[in-house]
A and B are shown apart, each in its own frame.
Chain A
Amino acid sequence: MEEEVDKLELMFQKADSDLDYIQYRLEYEIKTNHPDSAGEKNPVTLLQELSAIKSRFQTLHERFKPIADEQKETKSRICATFNKTMTVIQELQKQTDLELSPLTEEEKTAVQQLK
Chain B
Amino acid sequence: TLKDNVNILLDKASLESQESIGFIKAAKVLMK
| Direct A–B touching, Cβ under 8 Å | yes
Q: Which residue numbers of A lie inside 8 Å of B, CB to CB?
A: 53-54, 57, 60-61, 64, 68, 71, 75, 78, 82, 106-107, 109-111, 113-114
A82 to B5, CA, bound (A): 37
Q: Which residue numbers of B lie inside 8 Å of A, CB to CB?
A: 2, 5-6, 9, 12-13, 16, 20, 22-23, 25-27, 29-30
Chain B residues in 8 Å Cβ range of A61: 9
- CB of B16 within 8 A of CB of A57, answer no
A24 to B12, CA, bound (A): 40
- Residue with the greatest number of chain A CB neighbours at <10 A, chosen from B5, B20, B26: B26
A75 to B26, CA, bound (A): 12
